[in-house]
Amino acid sequence: MRTIRCLPARRNQRGNSFIEFALAFLLFLVFVVGVIEFGRGVWTFTTISHAARQGARYAMTRGETNPTTADQVRDVVRNAAVGLDRAQVQVTTAWPAGVQRGKVVQVQVSYPFGLVTGSLLLPQSTIPISASSQMILAN
């Protein structure tokens, strides 16, 4: 009677576990990169929102007694957008009803959010992020 050895089966199991680990690690890596990209996007939106509020506050406190220009508001917004490329921050300021006390000032800010993964996942590697703020003129 002959004895059959099980060594080849163990070798196959080692290869199978390596492939299972590689697939699981790949999925884990994609998940981690997705979480990082999402976190960066939320941080960028929060920064843009804060910058829009700062610009609206700046215009609100000046009002008609010391009128401000759209260029001054743009500079305030770009200075408040810490950590972002200032040249890519687009600012639109409007006083729809005029620059009198009790009227509204609107500040809209947009920024092209660039993905770290770039064109690996999406053909378009930037996502436009925008925020707006409006306040009533106090002076």
Specify the 3-state DSSP secondary structure of 126.
Answer: strand
Over its length of 139 residues, how does the chain's per-residue pLDDT go in tens digits?
Answer: 566 665 555 555 667 888 899 999 999 998 998 899 999 999 999 999 999 999 999 999 887 778 888 999 999 999 999 999 999 999 999 998 888 888 899 999 999 998 887 767 667 778 899 999 999 988 7
> In degrees to the nearest 10, what's the CA dihedral of 54, 59, 60, 65?
150
Identify each DSSP E strand in 11-123 by its residue range: 90-94, 104-114
- pTM given for the model: 0.80
Residue 104 covered by a domain: yes
Does the residue 62 lie in any domain? yes
How many domains, in total, are found in the chain? 1
**1 falls within a domain:** no
Q: Give dist(CA 10, CA 12) in Å, integer.
A: 5
Our CA angle for 37, 38, 42, nearest 5°, is: 120
CATH at residue 92:
3.30.1300
- Residue 3 lies inside a defined structural domain of this protein: no
